[in-house]
Amino acid sequence: MSAADQTAREAVDTVYRADSRRVLATLIRLLGDFDRAEEALHEAFAAALQQWPVDGVPANPRAWLVSTGRFRAIDQLRRRARHDRSLGDLAEALERQAAASRDDDILDETSPVDDDRLRLIFTCCHPALPPDARLALTLREVCGLTTEEIARAFLATPSTIAQRIVRAKAKIRDARIPYQVPGPDDLPARLDAVLHVVYLLFNEGYAATAGPSLTRADLSAEAIRLARLLADLQPGAEVDGLLALMLLHEARRASRTTADGDLVLLEDQDRASWDRAAIAEGQALVERALRSRRFGAYTLQAAIAAVHAEAPTSAATDWPQIVGLYDVLLRHDPSPVFALNRAVAVAMWHGAAEGLALVEQILARGDLADYHFAHAAHADLCRRVGRLADARASYARALALATQEPERRFLARRLASLE
Amino acid sequence: MRYLCLIYDEEKVMATMPKPEADAFMREYFTFTEGVKASGHYVAGEALHPVSTATTLRIRHGKTSTTDGPFAETKEQLGGFYLIEAADLNAALQIAAKIPSARTGSVEVRPVVDFSRMP
């Protein structure tokens, strides 16, 4: 291979890694169909591999790829129109559109709100799609993960994921879900749906629901990347809040497990290993979000994480502030999980007995009966007040519900220590 | 593109609504219908008699079975529909959100197959 060839190939690689999702997002808009756009994307990069070594790398690679993909797609449609006349009409319509636009137009560089990636994210997270499908579709189309990678992440089979994605695309087509950024009235609710998908993704990477390892760093990294993209394209307090929350959790990744993959509790984590730069960024985002007054549950959770991150030692944690923040959080979202976390914080501030009374109230309401952490928290507090029989029973209950190996080992050890 | 908005409500609840509330509800429906006609989205719409007036027909292996009542017992019952014309799902959902029963029951929004556009 000549030096020029090598340069061209490297350029294609670089553009692929940096921009293939953006090119896809624009092709979906221009061609009106996800599958057609994906085919066009492949064709465009294949063409680049052939032509850039010969003609040189274009001045605007993205525009070249979009244009090439678009015209190859139209050619494909014309070829297929021999068997299916409706495709011929479509090819003509797309050709007319192409003739009417210029290269600058198709990239919509004018303002962030027109960014095709935003259209893509909002479409993938449309409430008309089943929640599982939103997550799978976002990972596939926005993040570029393969079906196999998505299947591994969620411990499903590739064919299950593939089917979910196929059905989601069919629904987008048949119900005519438009490729749009929602208008101002719909935006808050629709943005919530997007943030929720990003949060699910992060959580899966931060504390995987099952399997041998506690975390899958690549998923969390992907979630942070998505949140950064959103913060660029659709800035707002809760986007900042979610990004902050994820950065503050991620900062502690190195200290959360031992070399053997065992769980390390927050109070025992080596704070010197925490990523101070990530914490600083997270804190700045929290402050900005809180100042805007349009913050919500993610920002408040991030604020709580920031208070933990600020404490030089576990003993120095500002528990009153944490309890206060949980009070505000519960007003935004009265979730029993938040109530449980607040009870744990109350125990740290006012003593185990007071926290235990709150935990028992929460468990009595029944919402957290299948949540292993609730029983683990109950067990720990019982142990601290000397109710050892109750502690054993609750650790056993937690162990029966926990599906993740490091957590199970931790609970089994705690149970054994009480025998 | 056309969408069918299927309106479901709990008949028991509707039937026991006090008269002033029921009248106000009907007036809201009247306002909605006028609005969706004026905006050009209305294709058709009807209110249905309660499910007790329904008859379900099934023919299997040449045998006809006629049963009294709806095709299935459900918590909410079909009470009416609107057939609307809308550019896409978001537009259809915005219209359907104004149907009064969206607040009391459920409105299912289903795209209508356009046979003229099939190959």
Q: Which residue of A has its CA nearest to B97?
A: A186
Q: How confident is the model at residue A258 (pLDDT cuts 50, 70, 90)?
A: confident
pLDDT at residue A99, as a whole number: 84
The residue ranges of DSSP E strands in A236-292, in sequence order, are: none
Mutate to test the interface with A, among B88, B110, B113 (most CBs of A within 10 A): B88
Q: Which residue of B has its CA nearest to A183?
A: B90
Q: How much is the average pLDDT of A101-117?
A: 62
Q: Which residue of B has its CA nearest to A82?
A: B119
Report phi then psi at B65, rounded to 5.
Answer: -120, 125
The answer to whether residue A217 scores a pLDDT higher than 80 is: no
pLDDT at residue A211, as a whole number: 56
Q: At CB < 8 Å, which residues of chain A contact B?
A: 84-86, 128, 174-178, 180, 182, 186
Task: Express each pLDDT in A400-419 by its tens digit.
Answer: 998 888 889 999 999 999 88
Mutate to test the interface with B, among A89, A90, A176 (most CBs of B within 10 A): A176
Cβ–Cβ gap A176/B1 under 8 Å: yes
**Cβ burial A110-143 (10 Å sphere, 16+ → b, else e):** eeeeebbbbbbbbbbbbeebeeebbbbbbbbbbb
Mean per-residue pLDDT of chain A: 89
Q: CA of B52 to nearest chain A CA: how many angstroms apart? A: 32
CA B24 to CA B30: how far, in whole Å? 10
Cβ–Cβ gap B90/A178 under 8 Å: yes
Q: Which of A84, A86, A128 sits opposite B89 (nearest CB)?
A: A128
Q: How much is the average pLDDT of A294-314?
A: 94
Chain B positions touching A29 (Cβ under 8 A) are none
Q: CA of B92 to nearest chain A CA: how many angstroms apart? A: 10
Q: How confident is the model at residue A104 (pLDDT cuts 50, 70, 90)?
A: low
3-class SS letters over chain B: CEEEEEEEECHHHHHCCCHHHHHHHHHHHHHHHHHHHHCCCEEEEEECCCHHHCEEEEEECCEEEEEECCCCCCCCEEEEEEEEECCCHHHHHHHHCCCCHHHHCEEEEEECCCHHHCC
pLDDT at residue B22, as a whole number: 95
Task: Express each pLDDT in A141-196 by its tens digit.
Answer: 988 888 888 887 777 899 999 999 999 999 999 999 999 988 888 888 889 899 99
Chain A positions touching B84 (Cβ under 8 A) are none
pTM listed for this prediction: 0.82
Task: Express each pLDDT in B7-30 by its tens digit.
Answer: 999 999 999 999 999 999 999 999
Angstrom CA distances, A396 to A246, A367, A373, A379, A406, stand at 31, 19, 12, 9, 15
CA A320 to CA A327: how far, in whole Å? 11
Mutate to test the interface with A, among B89, B112, B113, B116 (most CBs of A within 10 A): B89
Q: Which of B88, B93, B117 sits opposite A86 (nearest CB)?
A: B117
Cβ–Cβ gap A177/B88 under 8 Å: yes
